[in-house]
Amino acid sequence: MSESMTGGRAVGAGQGWAWIADGFGLFKKSPGIWIALVIILLVILVVLAFIPLLGAVATFLLMPVFIGGLTLGCRALQGGGELELGHLFAGFDKAHAGNLIVLGALAIGGWIIVMIPVVAIAGVGAVVGLLRGDAAGVAAMGGSLMLAWLVALALSIPIYMALWFAPALVVLRRMAPVAALRESFFGCLKNIVPFLVYSIVFVVLGILASIPLGLGWLVLGPVTIASVYVAYRDIFGDA
């Protein structure tokens, strides 16, 4: 089995910064189109948010499709081609849409599994707090909420790891959804240190991007998407 099919390769810690820097390089090749793509995607997500329940489900199902399309746009830019508005919807083609939507469905299942113990812990704490009705009960309620938050955080990380490269693996290597999730997870696991560096840099940039009314996200959003593609190439190789 080839290296790219076993979680890719491990890279140095400094690559965590390089992914963001090279992602910005892809952004600079077509900044106007990138910003337009982010605005269009944001409008779509806002519209879906106004549809009770079904909108949330649709968002989960369609996000991998949009990300897959933008990944194809990144590959076009990397190869000297043009990024186009149509790349946002490129994942809806016959070759990719089904598997990308399945990724979204598996993501929904994963988040439901995460929420079961979180809701149970928070619910038990709330019941204990209400039954006691005193300072100790309030403390128990607060403690359970903190524990629920920590459990949610711990269980969310593996899901993010599994989803991080999955759309790219589906559209660029034509992997089946479950295989793509597995390879993405192990690709992240092999590169915990560079991803830690990446996360620290991203948090700092996220704070800076949020200061001017959040307008900095019009740049950081595309850079993030492009950085995922750059990291994919670094870990899994060209495709």
Tokens representing residue 223 in the block? 């850079």
Ramachandran category for residue 213: left, alpha or beta (phi over 0 → left; psi -120 to 50 → alpha): left
- Comparing CA positions, the residue from 56, 57, 86, 81 lying closest to residue 70 is 86
Work out the average pLDDT over 104-130. Answer: 90
- Residue 63's CB is within 10 A of a number of other CB atoms, namely 19
User: Could you state, in order of their start, the residue ranges of all structural domains in the chain?
Assistant: 16-236
Q: Which residues contact 154 (CB under 8 A, 6 or more apart)?
A: none
pLDDT, one tens digit per residue, over 19-43 is 999 999 999 999 999 999 999 999 9
pLDDT digits (tens, 9 = 90+) for 34-90: 999 999 999 999 999 999 989 999 999 999 999 999 999 999 999 999 999 999 999
pLDDT in tens, 180-219: 999 999 999 999 999 999 999 999 999 999 998 889 999 9
Q: What pLDDT sits at residue 2?
A: 40
- pLDDT surpassing 80 at residue 156: yes
In 3-state terms, the chain is what percent helix, strand and coil (to 5)? 80, 0, 20
pTM above 0.75, yes or no: yes
**Cβ-based burial of 43 (10 A; exposed 0-12, middle 13-18, buried ≥19):** exposed
pLDDT of residue 171: 96
